[in-house]
């Protein structure tokens, strides 16, 4: 199996890395110790467990400078506008950055001890946030005491998840009156060649998570094939059902840069445009301005992968009171009715609080959906990356 071969290569590579680290001397260790001391001192001053009212935070925030946010979400610009109106005298700077670049920027800030960022908004569908930023103590959750008890299970622990989305399939609403596929193996049909569009999984965290789960759930993929074809899938030695599906499906796919381009391709190009798109569910809000695409909620073996989005405080944050205030604001304040959550309460989103309704009419329980398995991604990260590099190299032409 391709992934097993890559695992052997990975073990050899790790051994080499440890050998190099052993002989690299103490200077890097000294730098890390200094950074860790910075974080320990900052944690004491930040007092993330403090019980504070929004009035107390606002008064303290007025003596701080501009709040700096690194984000993969553009909707936070709307939150910035209403936040600054709600709290006169406070200003917010938004840096819209791609997922992978966001992680790199935060790592560079940490290494240089140049703590430029205050808040981070990102999903973690390739486990980069957890592996590179949360576990090492570079970003931290701030969970307001009067909101913590109102969070859904698993959404307020090592990360504060403020928004639930899904990476899912959609179809062109002008080309079809109903979903054209009921089984994922139908996407391998010749009729869909050049008619399926999705973001490059190595450039989009959310798309990566969906693609990785198609590899992980190879048993479900195999069983879906038998239901579709009426006969068992022939799997040659060294292959899995998930890999075979991707190898047969990828030639039909046009790989692009983002879910925005997917939405354009299936929802704003008429009946002769792309027919099926794989993108983040929150793009459903574009239907309100005339985009003609529809979600596929039912698909064998699954139609969607749950995509949690987190808001985290960057270690070394210089404007901690403003950061805490903004977190409260985007969460909707203690009662969940605050203006800050409104840009994120749209079609294609699901609440992470037990006291706040979903933005989407169809609940997650009514969708053929699976959770993201971050442990699988962590354990197979390099192998997954190598596999999709192979898939993209075979199917993207310059």
Give the pLDDT score at 3: 55
Residue 224: per-residue pLDDT = 98
pLDDT digits (tens, 9 = 90+) for 198-210: 999 998 888 999 9
Q: What is the pLDDT of residue 32?
A: 62
Cα–Cα nearest to 114, from 123, 124, 105: 105
pTM as predicted: 0.88
Residues 6+ apart with CB under 8 A from 203: 98, 100, 257, 258
5 found inside a domain: no
Is 11 part of any domain?
Answer: no
Confidence of residue 5 (pLDDT cuts 50, 70, 90): low
Q: Are residues 180 and 292 in the same domain?
A: yes
Q: Are residues 117 and 36 in the same domain?
A: yes
What is the rounded average pLDDT of the residues 275-287? 96
Kindly report the backbone phi and psi dihedral angles of residue 336, in degrees, each rounded to the nearest multiple of 5, phi listed first. 80, 5
Same domain, 230 and 132: no
Does pLDDT of 20 surpass 70? no
pLDDT category at 36 given cuts 50, 70, 90 is confident
Q: What is the mean pLDDT of the chain?
A: 91
Tell me the pairing of strands 92-96 and 119-123.
unpaired
* Nearby residues of 92 by Cβ (< 8 Å), 6 or more positions away: 66, 67, 69, 80, 83, 84, 322, 326
- pLDDT number for residue 328: 98
pLDDT of residue 18: 45
244 to each of 188, 192, 214, 218, how far by Cα in Å? Answer: 10, 17, 10, 9
Q: Which residue segment(s) compose the domain that 196 sits in?
A: 166-306+373-395
Q: What pLDDT score does 14 carry?
A: 47
Q: Report, as an integer, the average pLDDT of 88-100.
A: 94
Residue 23 above 50 pLDDT? no
Residue 145 contacts residue 51 (beta carbons within 8 Å) = yes
Q: How far apart are CA 298 and CA 305, in angstroms?
A: 12
Output the pLDDT for position 6: 53
Per-residue confidence (pLDDT) for residue 397, from 0 to 100:
60
**Residue 22 domain flag:** no
Q: What is the structure's pLDDT at 358?
A: 97
Same domain, residue pair 77 and 178: no
Counting the structural domains of the chain, the total is 2
- Does residue 4 lie in a domain region? no
Average pLDDT over residues 285-302: 97
Q: Which two tokens stand for residue 83?
A: 């936040």
Which H, E and C letters describe the chain, residue by residue? CHHHHHHHHHHHHHHHHHHHHHCCCCHHHHHHHHHHHHHHHHHHHHCCCCCCCHHHHHHHHCCCCCEEEEECCCCHHHHHHHHHHHCCCCCEEEEECCHHHHHHHHHHHHHHCCCCCCEEEEECCCCHHHHHHHCCCCEECCCCHHHHCCECCCCECCCEEEEEEEEEEEEECCCCCCCCCCEHHHHHCHHHCCCEEEECCCCCHHHHHHHHHHHHCHHHHHHHHHHHHCCCCCCCCCCCHHHHHHHHHHHHEEEECCHHHHHHHHHCCCCCCCCEEEEEHHHHHHHHHCCCEEECCCCECCCEEEEEEEEEEECCCCCHHHHHHHHHHHCCCCCCCCHHHHHHCCCCCECCECCCCCCCCCCHHHCCEECCCHHHHHHCHHHHHHHHHHHHHHHCCC
43 and 70 together in one domain: yes
Question: Are residues 109 and 190 part of one domain?
Answer: no
Check whether residue 316 and residue 296 sit in a common domain.
no
pLDDT over 50 (residue 260): yes
Q: What are phi and psi of 66, to 5 degrees?
A: -65, 130
- Looking at residue 263, which CATH number applies to its domain? 3.40.190.10
In this prediction, residues 105-124 reach a mean pLDDT of 94
341 and 264 part of one domain: no
pLDDT exceeds 90 at position 22: no
- Is residue 7 in a domain? no
Same domain, 378 and 285: yes
If asked whether residues 45 and 149 sit together in one domain, one would say yes
- Do both 333 and 390 map to the same domain? no
Q: Indicate the pLDDT class of residue 30, thresholds 50, 70 and 90.
A: low
pLDDT given at position 396: 78
Residue 258 lies in a domain: yes
Question: What tens digit of pLDDT does each residue of 137-187 get?
Answer: 999 999 999 999 999 999 999 999 999 999 999 999 999 999 999 999 999
19 in a structural domain = no
In this structure, the answer to whether residues 99 and 240 fall within a common structural domain is no
């Amino acid at each position: 199996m391709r992934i097993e071969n890559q695992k052997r290569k990975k073990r050899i590579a790790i051994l080499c890395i440890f050998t190099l680290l052993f002989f690299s001397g103490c200077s890097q260790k000294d730098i890390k110790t200094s950074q860790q001391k910075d974080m320990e001192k900052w944690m004491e001053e930040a007092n993330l467990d403090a019980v504070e009212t929004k009035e107390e935070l606002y008064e303290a925030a007025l003596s701080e400078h501009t709040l700096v946010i690194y984000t993969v979400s553009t909707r936070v610009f709307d939150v910035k506008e209403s936040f600054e109106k709600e709290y006169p005298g406070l200003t917010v700077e938004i840096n819209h950055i791609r997922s992978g670049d966001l992680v790199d920027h935060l790592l560079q800030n940490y290494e240089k001890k140049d703590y430029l960022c205050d808040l981070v908004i990102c999903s973690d569908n390739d486990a980069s946030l957890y592996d590179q930023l949360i576990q090492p103590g570079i970003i931290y959750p701030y969970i307001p005491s009067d909101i913590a008890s109102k969070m859904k299970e698993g959404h307020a622990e090592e990360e504060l998840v403020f928004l639930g989305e899904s990476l899912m399939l959609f179809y062109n609403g002008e080309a079809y009156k109903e979903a054209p596929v009921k089984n994922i193996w139908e996407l391998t049909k010749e009729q869909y060649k050049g008619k399926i569009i999705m973001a490059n999984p190595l450039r989009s965290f959310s798309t990566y998570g969906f693609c990785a789960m198609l590899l992980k759930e190879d048993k479900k993929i195999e069983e879906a094939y038998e239901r579709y074809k009426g006969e068992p899938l022939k799997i040659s030695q060294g292959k899995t059902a998930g890999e075979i599906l991707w190898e047969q499906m990828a030639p039909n796919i046009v790989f692009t840069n983002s879910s925005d381009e997917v939405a354009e391709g299936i929802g704003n190009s008429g009946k002769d445009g792309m027919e099926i798109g794989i993108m983040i569910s929150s793009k459903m809000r574009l239907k309100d301005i005339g985009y003609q695409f529809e979600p596929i909620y039912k698909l064998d073996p699954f139609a969607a992968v749950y995509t949690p989005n987190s808001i985290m405080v960057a270690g070394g944050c210089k404007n901690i009171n403003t950061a805490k205030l903004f977190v409260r604001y985007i969460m909707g304040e203690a009662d969940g009715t605050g203006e800050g959550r409104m840009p994120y309460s749209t079609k294609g989103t699901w609440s992470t609080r037990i006291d706040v309704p979903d933005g989407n009419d169809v609940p997650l329980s009514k969708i053929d959906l699976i959770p993201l398995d971050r442990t699988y991604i962590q354990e197979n990260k390099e192998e997954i990356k190598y596999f999709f590099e192979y898939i993209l190299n075979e199917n993207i032409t310059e």
